[in-house]
Amino acid sequence: MTSLHETGVTVRAPAKINLHLGVGPVRPDGFHPLATAYQAISLFSTVTATPADDWAVTCTGQVGIDTAGVPLDDTNLALRAAKLLAREHGVDQPVALHLDKGIPVAGGLAGGSADGAAALLACSLLWDLSLPPARLLELAGELGSDVPFGLVGGSASGHGRGELVEPLEDHGRYDWVVLTFDTGMSTPAVYADFDVLHEGVEVPDPEIPPALVAALRAGDARALADAVGNDLQPASLRLRPQLAEPLRAGLDASAYAALVSGSGPTCLFLCGDPDHAASVAAALSPYGRALVCHGPVPGATVL
């Protein structure tokens, strides 16, 4: 029998959206406490880890995905994940990582974090480390605030910087249009503008709306539409006023809800079923790249 160690291990991890992003008051160290509800959606990155003489990372993009912005050096999150795991668990076996990305790069969909989560799981299996899920989550949190959710998937709450992840009960399937643009936005610039907008205002501690938790539990897309939200959206719209147009166009095309994803510029449109999503996507295509997908989907999974 061929062992995993010869053929390599392939793991697939999903993109994430923020159904709600609650942002708290900035602290002296510049940190904003978050209370967010994540959902994993059906855009995926796959990572294949194969034993090699030296550490290496290569990358391809699935149809329509431009991978020019993906670093192929030590800053690549998948490579950082593999090296962190090796260092922490005394492994002396370099791997070649191949990423096949179906998640738009720098679109606020945590594509790099998905690669990091997939690489952690792939390498832990390749090296037979038999780690408990809690240990992988701990390492994921060291890599970045969205990496733990890449492991957990589904629908989940995120606190702290977003790295303290707890699954949320979800009995629904939600059809989404994800509208991406060629030009990204700087996440630090959006947070800085959030601070400007809230100067002299007491910002409450962030919380996930109870109505959103109830909507997921009931699997009710209409109720979810009333509960989604993003505290960063006013800042994103100030920095990129043109986003107002596709948000309006999506609602005019009968999307249940339209919101900016995370710090933007990617926009999200909640729909009632796949046909509805296809018609909303057609209406949005003049503004950017409209991808039809659904959630929730599982976190990092071995293929």
Residue 279 interacts with ligand ATP (CB under 6 A)?
no
- Of 78 and 257, nearer to ligand ATP (C-beta) is 78
Compute the distance between CA of residue 163 and CA of residue 141 in angstroms, rounded to an integer: 6
Residue closest to 138 by CA, chosen among 77, 95, 208, 84: 84
Cis peptide before 265 (omega within 30 of 0): yes
Site for ligand ATP in 177-196 (CB under 6 A): 187
Question: Computed from CA positions of residues 49, 92, 110, 137, in that sequence, does the dihedral angle turn out positive or negative?
Answer: positive
Residues with active-site annotation: 16, 146
Residue 40 interacts with ligand ATP (CB under 6 A)?
no
Compute the distance between CA of residue 302 and CA of residue 46 in angstroms, rounded to an integer: 9
Of 8, 111, 172, 295, the one binding ligand ATP (CB under 6 A) is 111
Residue closest to ligand ATP when measured from CB atoms: 112
Cβ 209 to ligand ATP shortest distance, Å:
23
C-alpha pair distances (Å), 240 with each of 79, 146, 256: 33, 24, 23
Residue 70 interacts with ligand ATP (CB under 6 A)?
yes
Residue closest to 110 by CA, chosen among 236, 233, 232, 15: 15
Residue 213 interacts with ligand ATP (CB under 6 A)?
no
Residue 64 interacts with ligand ATP (CB under 6 A)?
no
Residue 69 interacts with ligand ATP (CB under 6 A)?
yes
Number of residues counted as binding ligand ATP (CB under 6 A):
20
Q: Six-digit token pair at 165?
A: 């992840």
- Of 108 and 288, nearer to ligand ATP (C-beta) is 108
Residue 71 interacts with ligand ATP (CB under 6 A)?
yes
Residue 112 interacts with ligand ATP (CB under 6 A)?
yes
Residue 155 interacts with ligand ATP (CB under 6 A)?
no
Ligand-binding annotation for 106, yes or no, is yes
Query: 206 near 34, Cβ under 8 Å?
Result: yes
Adjacency order of strands within the sheet including 257-260: 257-260, 267-271, 174-180, 289-295
Ligand-binding annotation for 97, yes or no, is no
Binding residues (CB under 6 A) for ligand ATP: these are 69-71, 75-78, 99, 105-113, 115, 146, 187
What residues form the annotated binding site for ATP?
A: 104-114
